[in-house]
Amino acid sequence: MISPAAQYDFLKGYFTPEYSAEYIFGENTALRQYWDSFLQSFAQLGEEEILSRSQDMSRFLKENGVTYHIYGHPSGLNRTWNLDIIPFLIDEKDWNIIESGLSQRAILFDLILKDIYGEQKLIKEGILPMEIVYCHRGFLRECVGIQQPGTHNLVIYSADMAKSKDGSIWVLNDRTQAPSGSGYALENRMAMARIVPELFNGLKVKRLSPYYNAMRNALINIAPHNNPQPRIVILTPGSNNETYFEHSFLSSYLGFTLVQGDDLMVKDNFVWLKTLGGLEKVDVIVRRVDDVYCDPLELKEDSQLGIPGLLQVARCGNVSIANPLGSSVIENPGLLPFLPAIAEYFLGEPLILPTIASWWCGQEKELQYVLDHLSTLVIKRIYRESFTRTSIDATLLDAKNLAELKERIKTQPHLYVAQEKVDFAVTPSLVNGKIEPCHALFRSFAVSNQDGYKVMAGGLTRTTLDKENMVISNQLGGFSKDTWVLSGEDSNTVNIKKEQEQGSTVASPVYQSNVLPSRNAENLYWVGRYAERVLGNARFQRTVMQYVEEANRAFMDNDMALKQCLLSSLTRYTHTYPGFTTDDIEKKVQEPWEELGSILFDSSRTGSLGYNLDSFIRSVHSVRDYWSTDTWRVLREMEDAWQLASSAKHKGHYKMLSAVDAIITSMMAFISLNRESISRDQGWTLLDTGRKIEQSLLLISMLQTTLISKQEDMVEYILQEAVLKSNESLVNYRFKYRAHLQLSLVLDLMLLDPNNPRSLMYQLERLKAYVSGLPKMHSDHSLAEHERLALEALTTLRLANKDELCKADTATNRYEELEIFLGKMYKILFSISDVVSKTYFKHAQAQRQLFR
C-alpha cells in the first residue's frame, strides 16, 4: 500500500491506497507545477462542493441537450454526455510540439490528398504502394480531377494522440472524412467555465475560439467563384446520428444552416436549399455525412442521406465541400509506414510527431514479420467497415482468435497494417469521488489557414477506466475531459466571458437571410400539432377520470350511462380503439382504470398520451436549435416526470391524475415560453398554424364524440359540463350566461364566441391570419388554396345557425344538424392541413433509383 505524497496531504480524501500521487500525476515537473496550482483550487472547493458541482455539471449538459447516441443500445438514444471535472493538462513545451506537429501533418495529408486525386506521383515513383490507395474504399474514382478553390483541399484535419510513459506524443489515428469532436470540445469548455470557474484560477488556459474563427474564414475562402458572402450549410445525416448534438451546436455557434440531404437539391448545375419561400443557392457544404453517402447518382446508390447530382456540381466548380468528397482515402493506416518517406519527398523534412512503428502486410517480408510477432502487435485495417472495429489489440487475443486473425490477414494482406503496442501514460480523473489514473486519448483539430493550418489550442479528451485496452471510443462509453493548453504568457488565454459570447458576437460576412428549410418548417408545424394534441388529450382524459372517480363516490342515479358515454367518448376522441367501444363495455366500465392507465402510459399504443408525447418529443428534437435553454429545461422536466410516472409500479388513480396534471402544466409552459421569448417569423407562423389546426380539429372531435347523440337530460348536462371543463371554459360559461347548462349556450360559447380563447371562432380567425402570413408562391392577387379554405371554414362557421344545430332528430335520437355541420368543418380543416403540407413541405418526396 502506498500513501499519497506528503505534499498532497490536503487531497487525502481523494486517493485510493492503490496508486501513488507520482503515478497519477506523472513526473514531468513542468506539468506538476500546473497540477499543483489546479489542485489548490480544487481542494479549496472541498469534497462536498466538488460533488455538488459535478452534479450541476451533469444537469447543465443535460439541459443544454448535450448528448451522444449509442448505436444498438436500448437506452442508447440521447445518452447524456459525461464530463470529468478534472481537465486534461498540456504544458507549453508539449503543446509546441503538438501544434507544429499537427500543422505539419495537416499540410502533408493535404499534399497526399491532392496527389491521389491528381498526378499520383507517390504511386508512380514507388513511394506508396498502389494497393494502399486503390484497395481503400474511400478512393472514389468519381472524384479524380475535381478542383476546389482555396490553398488546401483538406480543409479540416483531426488526429487522436496519446502520451507514452516516456513522455513522447504519438498520433494514433488521423481523421479526414468528417472529423467530429470540435463542438463537444467547445461545449466542454463552456460547461467548465460556467460551473467551475474557480478551477481556472492562477492558470493561463489558451482559448478555443480562434480555431472557430479560422474555420469560418477557411470555409469562406473555399467558396466557388470568389463569392465573398457565401451561403454555408452543415450537412447532417439527421437526428439519429451519434454526434447530432454537435452538428446542431456548430450550426448555431457558427451561424450556418443545418440541413439534411433532402433539404438540398441539384438544379442547373448548382446546389439549392429548399426553403419555405423557395430555393436558395448553396455555396459551401460542411459535410458530416460520409462521402460515399453524399451522391446516390454516382456513389452509394441506395443512400437516402445525400443529394443526387452533387458530384456534377462539384465537377463544375459550383459548390465546395469540406472536406471534399473522396477525402476519406487518407483516413488510412496503410499510409503510416510510408509517412516518413512521403514527408521527405514532399517537404524534405522529418515528421515532427513520430509515427508508431508500423508494417504494411502487402509486402512479403513485412507480412512474415507481422505473422511471426502477431501477439505483440496492434492490427488495423486500412479502411473502416461500418460498425466493425478498425483496431484489434492482438496482445489481448487467445490462441484461437490469433489463428483466425492470421488467416484473415493472409487472405487479404494488403488490407492490414500492424503497429507496435505503446505503453501509454495515465492522467488523473475523478471517478466516483476518487482521483484515479485513466488512459486518455486526446483529439485536436487543424483547419486550413492561409498557407498553413490553424490548430485548436485544446481539444476533446476521452478516457477509459479499462487499464488494458487502449481502444477508446464514445461508442463504448467512457468519460470526456476538457483539454487545457497551459501557457506562460497572458495573451490569448481564457477569458471565460469572452469564450462564451464568441459565438454570437463574431462579425460574420456569411450570407444569412432569414431562411427556413422546408423540413424545419414541417417539423415546427408538427411540434405545434403534437403539443396541442398532448394538451387536448390530457385535459379530456383528466376530466373523464375525475368524473369516473366522482361518480363512484356520489352514487348518482345515472352513473352507469354517464360513465359509458364519457369513457366511450374518450376512446373515440383519442382513437384508441377498441377501448371502451366493445360489446362488453359494461364490464369494462365497472373496472375502467386498467384501460385508462393504458391510454395514458402505453406508448406503443397509437393514440395514447405516451405515444403522442413521444411524437412530440421527436419533432422537438428534430428542430432542436429553435428552443431556448429555458424551454429545454421545461422539456427535460416533462420527460423525466413522465418517465418516472409511467415506470412506477403502483399506478393509483391519484398518481395518474397528478401525472396528467404535470404534463398539462409543462406543456402550457412550453407553449407560452415559445410565445414570449422567440421570434423567428416564418417558423413560428408554422408552429402556430399547426397549433390552431390541431385545436380546431380536437374541439370539433370532442363535440362529435360527446354531444351528438341525445341522452337523458341529466347525462347530457354532465357531458356538456365535461366539455366545458376540459376546455377550461366552465367558469367563463357561468360568468357569461349565469344560467344552467344548455346545448345552445354551450355551442354559442364553444363555437361562435370570438372572445372565448377556447372557441372554434377564435381558432379559425387566427388560423386565417397565420395562413395568410405564409410565403406566397404566386405573385398575383388571387387567394392561395389554403387561404381560400381557411376563409371557407371561417365563413361556414359565421353562417352557422345555432338554433338549427340544437334540434334533435327524434327518429334517430341524434343532433343531426350539428353532426353534419361538424363533419363539414372537420373536412375543411383537414384539407387545409393537406394543402399546407403539399405546398410547403417539398422535401418529403421519396427518392429512388431507376431500374435498368
Residues that bind other proteins (CB under 8 A): 123-126, 130-131, 134-135, 141-142, 144, 265-269, 296-298, 301, 308-309, 312, 315-316, 414, 845-852
**Alpha-carbon distances, residue 129 vs 338, 343, 607, 644 (angstroms):** 9, 15, 60, 59
* 811 φ, ψ (degrees, to nearest 5): -70, -45
Minimum distance of other proteins from residue 141's CB (angstroms): 4
Residue 838 near residue 514 (C-beta atoms within 8 A): no
Residue 308: CB minimum distance to other proteins, A: 4
Q: What is the dihedral of CA 293, 299, 302, 306, to 10 degrees?
A: 40
Nearest C-alpha neighbor of 708 from the set 572, 544, 576, 575: 572
CA 568 to CA 582: how far, in whole Å?
9
CA–CA distance, 736 with 725 (Å, rounded to integer): 15
DSSP annotation of 15 reads B
Nearer of residues 413 and 437 to other proteins, judged by Cβ: 413
Strand, helix or coil for residue 203: coil
What secondary structure letter does DSSP report for 471?
-
Nearer to other proteins, 146 or 440 (CB): 146
**Of 4 and 326, CB closest to other proteins:** 326
Q: Are 436 and 19 in contact (CB under 8 A)?
A: yes
Contact assessment for residue 478 and residue 469, using Cβ atoms and an 8 Å cutoff: no
We find the least distance from the C-beta atom of residue 155 to other proteins, in angstroms, to be: 23
Grid coordinates in use for 807?
334540434
Closest to other proteins by CB, 315 or 814:
315
Minimum Å gap between C-beta 338 and other proteins is: 13
Given a contact cutoff of 8 angstroms between Cβ atoms, the answer to whether 308 and 298 are in contact is no
Minimum separation from the CB atom of position 411 to other proteins (A): 11
Phi then psi for residue 248, to 5 deg, are: -75, -35
| Cβ distance to other proteins smaller for residue 247 or 843 | 843
Least CB distance to other proteins at residue 382 (A): 12
Q: Which residue, 346, 322, 342, 326, is CA-closest to 334?
A: 342
- Minimum CB–partner distance for residue 467 and other proteins (Å): 40
Could you tell me if 675 and 688 are in contact, meaning their C-beta atoms sit under 8 angstroms apart? no
- CA pair distance 533, 495, nearest whole angstrom: 46
* Helix/strand/coil for 258: strand
Nearer to other proteins by C-beta: 360 or 479?
360
What is the rounded CA–CA span in Å between residue 169 and residue 845? Answer: 50
CB of 664 to other proteins, least distance (A): 39
d(CA 394, CA 370): 11
Contact in structure between 299 and 321 (CB atoms under 8 Å): no
Least distance in Å: CB of 850 to other proteins? 4
> Helix (H, G, I), strand (E, B), or coil: what is residue 264?
strand
Nearer to other proteins, 115 or 298 (CB): 298
Q: Min. distance of Cβ 19 from other proteins in angstroms?
A: 50
Distance of CA 695 to the CA centre of its chain: 29
- Least gap, CB of 326 to other proteins (angstroms): 11
CA distances from 451 to 323, 576, 589 (A): 17, 64, 78
Residue 105 vs 414, nearer CB to other proteins? 414
CB of 848 to other proteins, least distance (A): 6
Query: What's 143's DSSP letter?
Result: G
Which C-beta is closer to other proteins: that of 144 or that of 357?
A: 144
Question: Is the peptide bond preceding residue 323 cis, with omega within 30 degrees of 0?
Answer: yes
- In degrees rounded to 5, what are phi and psi of residue 159? -140, 145
Nearer to other proteins, 123 or 678 (CB): 123
Q: Where are the alpha helices (DSSP H) in 709-759?
A: 713-726, 730-737, 743-747
Q: Please say which residue, 120 or 495, places its beta carbon nearer to other proteins.
A: 120
Shortest CB 131 distance to other proteins, Å: 7
CB nearer other proteins, residue 232 or residue 310: 310
Taking the C-alpha atoms of residue 422 and residue 215, their distance in angstroms, rounded to an integer, is 33
Sequence-separated (6 or more) residues with CB below 8 Å from residue 60: 191, 194, 195
Q: Cα(331)–Cα(334) distance, rounded to whole angstroms?
A: 9
Q: What's the CA gap between 214 and 47, in Å, rounded?
A: 40
Please identify, using beta-carbon distances, which residue of 312 and 558 lies nearer to other proteins: 312
Q: Which is nearer to other proteins, 24 or 132 (CB)?
A: 132
E strands, 411-534, in order: 416-420, 426-431, 434-449, 452-455, 460-464, 479-485
**Closer by beta carbon to other proteins, 144 or else 396:** 144
CA 368 to CA 362: how far, in whole Å? 10
591-to-587, 655, 656 alpha-carbon distances in Å = 7, 17, 15
Q: How far apart are CB 588 and other proteins at their closest, in Å?
A: 41
Q: How far is the CB of 363 from other proteins (least distance, A)?
A: 10
> Which CB atom, from 399 or from 850, has the smaller least distance to other proteins?
850
Minimum CB distance to other proteins, residue 390 (Å): 19
CB 392, min distance to other proteins, A: 22
Q: 322: Cβ–Cβ under 8 A, 6 or more apart, which residues? A: 155, 156, 218, 219, 222, 284, 285, 286, 287
**Which is closer to other proteins, CB of 87 or CB of 129?**
129
